[in-house]
Amino acid sequence: MSEPLIEVKDLKVQFNVRDGIIHAVDGATFTINRGQTLGIIGESGCGKSVTAKAILRMVPRPGKVTGGEILYHRRIKSNGSEITDIVNITELDPDGEEIRKIRGGEIGMIFQEPMSSLTPVYTAGSHIGEAVGLHRLVPIRKVGAQMVETIQAHRRISKQEAREIAIDMLRRVGIPKPEQRVDAYPHQLSGGQRQRVMIAIALSCEPKMLIADEPTTALDVSIEAQILDIMRELQETVDMAIMFITHNLGVVAEMAEEICVMYMGKIVERASAVEIFYEPQHPYTRALLKSIPHVGKKSRERLASIKGMVPDPFNLPSGCVFHPRCPEYMPGKCDRIVPSWTQVGENHWARCLLYEGV
Amino acid sequence: MAEQKVPETNKKRQISQSYWSLVWWKFKKNKLAIVGGILIILFYSICGLFAEFFAPYTLDYQSDYLEARPQPVVFKDEEGNFSLRPAVYGLEEKIDQTLRKRFYEVNRTKIYPIYFFVKAEPYKLLGFIPTDIHLFGTDPADPEAHVFLFGTDRLGRDLFSRIIYGGRLSLLIGLLGQILTFTLGMVMGAISGYYGGVTDIIVQRLTEFVGAFPDIPLFMALAAAIPVTWSPILVYFMLTLILVFIRWGGLARQVRGLILSLREREYVLAARSFGASDARLMFRHLLPGTLSHCIVIATLMIPGMILSETALSWLGLGLRPPLTSWGVLLQEVSSVRSIRFAPWLLTTVPFVLLAVLSFNMLGDGLRDAMDPYGGR
């Protein structure tokens, strides 16, 4: 069960811009096991999406993976028995054949903006087909095509087969009248439907892992709930790991088994979802949890917020990067010593000097 | 109160209108564009595909009437009475004593009726169907009879036939050249815009370099480089390639601009995350987005292509006899003498104008129809 699928070790991503270097991801370490859901939460700009893109080697320029490794435990069938081959994704050519096989075929990704993630000139079906075709599975260019496209991209399959797969996938993600919708162009679909199509594309090649980068941020709550349900259902049927990126704590509580909290490119706390919510250890995590409004709890108190601003990425604070905003700031310590990754409980890690006994 | 009913067919159509059906719907309302489109279809079918059928004479048929004026068409039979069958008056050779020049006068006593679907010179329709039927002509049994609707040239060749044949080369150079320009421009533009960086700089400087050359001298140099020994067909294709080489840059720059804006869209990222290769992203996800724009540009560029050929041939840099194009026909009228004594040889000009205008009308119509933001 707890067999690792992706191991990220000390991942560093830097953006070399004119004003200096931004450490978008600074030493992220985590593991995603097969079939497990890992939630990654944090404020905007803390490096969540960059981490996800680094796994697919899609960090936008001028970003660069400058250190660490991403180990992908790939299962290969050889002579009837399954062996696990470990691929270091950071060493692959970002435009090469190898990474393109992994993208979509073995690790799927869905994006925040369902409105613009489908190529406007293709139908849902052709998109799915393309993916399947690309990965020698099968093809889909309407929203069906967009889907056929993904399928085509990953298996060698006839147009007809691809279309059937596209229809089937659309049905699985709960799109009504999939036989007609497969020929719909993106502009003919609603936001929720488009995100379903995206999910269908991502799942059409039965990836081992799905990276969901704020998949429901652009949708309203009722659609959000449906999409989350669909993802969970499908996860159970195909035993797929999910890396769920969000800044919505409610959503992550519902989806994830394990949660990483990121702040300024660093993972500051990692624990099971239950522990994160009931026994948060890092002051940042606590502050985040406090800033959620509670329904039904009327009070004259203002909603708690984290004081201060996110620091300037070119001019990071010394010591612990969170110290200027930390309610438990220890003068003389927090601004001098960089905290290390400390175990604070069973399977519970945090990066805070409170637990280092200094 | 009258009951308002939506007709059944309309209801069905409302369910889903594809982009192209919307374009067609809007295009239909532009009468000028429709006229332009029909004219272009006529031009290409008459001159391009079925020139042999529409022309009463073959390209190199030489009559005994040199520089004969156009014969007026009348509706009279041989006795001079009204008849529905059109006919032409015969021509009579005269000598102008002061100029010491031979000229023709219309002889109203001779009338040659025009017959439709007559059997005349044999030819191969579309290059492979042997036949000898022409759209119109004079009585094949009467060797005296002749019909020169637009007169003849210095060698006694029927101008009407030659304009039709000439249109074939002129119009095809426009179409063929434009297809090549379109392909080259799209591919170069896509590569330039998609990869950016050094690739972009190289391609863009290349387009600027080619574009900065003065056209005519560059043409002269390139045309002079075509070996004289080459067959006329090869020369024709070389000329097309030269035109393409000079003109692909503009389209490439436009495509580049569009690709630059499109490549930042989320769907490119999404397609990449499904494992699409660069080529796939460029040609299947990005280029289709520029297509409607490019079709319009390409249509509006065809007249330029046709005019370039005409201009170059007129200057003697393009096609040369025995190839016959509109430019070559016009070159034959490039002396004052021709204009003074055989002004009918200028009949080619309205055809060039009409072809160019048709393309412009069609292009304008397409532009309006394909622009999703164009209100009205």
Q: Using the 3D structure, point to which of B157, B184, B214 is the last residue of a domain.
A: B157
Q: What does the pLDDT read at residue B39? A: 92
Q: Based on the fold, state whether residues B104 and B190 are members of the same structural domain.
A: no
**pTM, to two decimals:** 0.73
* Alpha carbon distance B225, B211 (integer Å): 20
Q: How far A79 CA sits from the closest chain B CA (Å)?
A: 27
Q: Cβ separation of B274 and A103 shorter than 8 Å? A: yes
pLDDT tens digits, one per residue of B152-203: 888 888 888 889 988 888 888 888 888 999 999 999 999 998 888 899 999 9
Q: Based on the fold, state whether residues B151 and B135 are members of the same structural domain.
A: yes
Selecting from A104, A116, A188 the residue whose C-beta is nearest the C-beta of B274 gives A104
Over residues B247-259, the mean pLDDT reads 88
Q: What does the pLDDT read at residue A152? A: 57
Q: Cβ separation of B274 and A113 shorter than 8 Å? A: no
Q: Which of A112, A121, A179, A181 to mutate to test the interface with B (most CBs of B within 10 A)?
A: A121
Q: Residues of B near A (CB-CB distance < 8 A)? A: 16, 18-19, 265-267, 269-278, 280, 284-285, 288-289
How many domains are contained in chain B? 2
Q: Cβ separation of B16 and A188 shorter than 8 Å? A: yes
Q: How far A120 CA sits from the closest chain B CA (Å)?
A: 8
Q: Which residues of B touch A95 (CB under 8 A)?
A: 278
Contacts of B79 (CB under 8 A, 6+ apart): none
- The segments of chain A whose pLDDT lies below 50 read 1, 137-142
* Alpha carbon distance B322, B306 (integer Å): 19
Q: Based on the fold, state whether residues B106 and B215 are members of the same structural domain.
A: no
Selecting from B18, B273, B278 the residue whose C-beta is nearest the C-beta of A58 gives B273
Is B271 among the domain residues? yes
Q: Residues of A near B (CB-CB distance < 8 A)? A: 56, 58, 95, 100-105, 108-109, 111, 113, 116-122, 130-131, 134-135, 149-150, 153-154, 184-185, 188, 198, 201-202, 205
Q: What does the pLDDT read at residue B180? A: 92
Contacts of A144 (CB under 8 A, 6+ apart): A123, A124, A125, A126, A127, A128, A129, A163, A166, A167, A170, A178, A181, A182, A183, A184
Q: Using the 3D structure, point to which of B125, B157, B189 is the last residue of a domain.
A: B157
Is B376 among the domain residues? no
The residue among B350 and A158 whose pLDDT is bigger is: B350
| Domain range for B359 | 163-370
Q: Based on the fold, state whether residues B138 and B104 are members of the same structural domain.
A: yes
Mean pLDDT of chain B: 82
Q: What does the pLDDT read at residue A290? A: 84
Closest residue, chain B, to A101 (C-alpha): B275
Q: What does the pLDDT read at residue A139? A: 37
The burial class, CB within 10 Å (0-12 / 13-18 / 19+), for B103 is: middle
| Token pair listed for B29 | 């309302």
Closest residue, chain A, to B278 (C-alpha): A95
Is B52 among the domain residues? no
Q: Are B168 and B360 in contact (CB under 8 A)?
A: no
Selecting from B18, B267, B273 the residue whose C-beta is nearest the C-beta of A119 gives B267
Closest residue, chain A, to B279 (C-alpha): A95
Closest residue, chain A, to B291 (C-alpha): A121
Q: Which residues of A touch B271 (CB under 8 A)?
A: 119, 130, 149
Q: Are A163 and A155 in contact (CB under 8 A)?
A: no
Is B241 among the domain residues? yes
Q: What is the CATH number of the domain that holds B359?
A: 1.10.3720.10
pLDDT tens digits, one per residue of B297-320: 888 888 888 888 888 888 877 787
Over residues B224-237, the mean pLDDT reads 81
* Alpha carbon distance A251, B207 (integer Å): 52
β-pairing verdict for A20-33 and A241-246: unpaired
DSSP A300: S
Closest residue, chain B, to A213 (C-alpha): B270
Is B2 among the domain residues? no
Q: Using the 3D structure, point to which of B157, B174, B200 is the last residue of a domain.
A: B157
Q: Which residues of B touch A111 (CB under 8 A)?
A: 266, 269-270, 273
Q: What does the pLDDT read at residue B16? A: 57
Q: What does the pLDDT read at residue A150? A: 63
With a pLDDT cut of 70, the percent of chain B lying above it is: 93
Closest residue, chain B, to A146 (C-alpha): B271
Q: Based on the fold, state whether residues B149 and B175 are members of the same structural domain.
A: no
Q: How far B24 CA sits from the closest chain A CA (Å)?
A: 17
A vs B, Cβ pairs < 8 A, gives 79
pLDDT tens digits, one per residue of A18-74: 888 888 888 888 889 888 899 999 888 888 888 988 888 888 888 888 888 888 888
Q: How far A141 CA sits from the closest chain B CA (Å)?
A: 10
Give the sign of the dihedral formed by CA A157, CA A160, CA A163, CA A168. negative
Q: How far A186 CA sits from the closest chain B CA (Å)?
A: 11
Q: Based on the fold, state whether residues B142 and B177 are members of the same structural domain.
A: no
pLDDT tens digits, one per residue of B10-45: 444 445 566 677 778 888 888 888 999 999 999 888
Closest residue, chain B, to A103 (C-alpha): B275
Q: Based on the fold, state whether residues B125 and B272 are members of the same structural domain.
A: no
Q: Based on the fold, state whether residues B114 and B193 are members of the same structural domain.
A: no
Q: Based on the fold, state whether residues B188 and B281 are members of the same structural domain.
A: yes
Q: Cβ separation of B265 and A116 shorter than 8 Å? A: yes
Strand partners, A88: A71
Q: How far B175 CA sits from the closest chain A CA (Å)?
A: 26
Q: Cβ separation of A111 and B288 shorter than 8 Å? A: no
Q: How far B273 CA sits from the closest chain A CA (Å)?
A: 5
Q: Based on the fold, state whether residues B258 and B170 are members of the same structural domain.
A: yes
Q: Based on the fold, state whether residues B241 and B345 are members of the same structural domain.
A: yes
Selecting from B266, B277, B285 the residue whose C-beta is nearest the C-beta of A113 gives B266
Q: Cβ separation of B270 and A117 shorter than 8 Å? A: yes
Asked if this assembly's ipTM is beyond 0.85, the reply is: no
Q: What does the pLDDT read at residue A335? A: 84
Q: Which residues of A touch B17 (CB under 8 A)?
A: none
Q: Which residues of A touch B16 (CB under 8 A)?
A: 184, 188
Is B89 among the domain residues? yes
Q: Based on the fold, state whether residues B80 and B208 are members of the same structural domain.
A: no
Q: How far A267 CA sits from the closest chain B CA (Å)?
A: 24
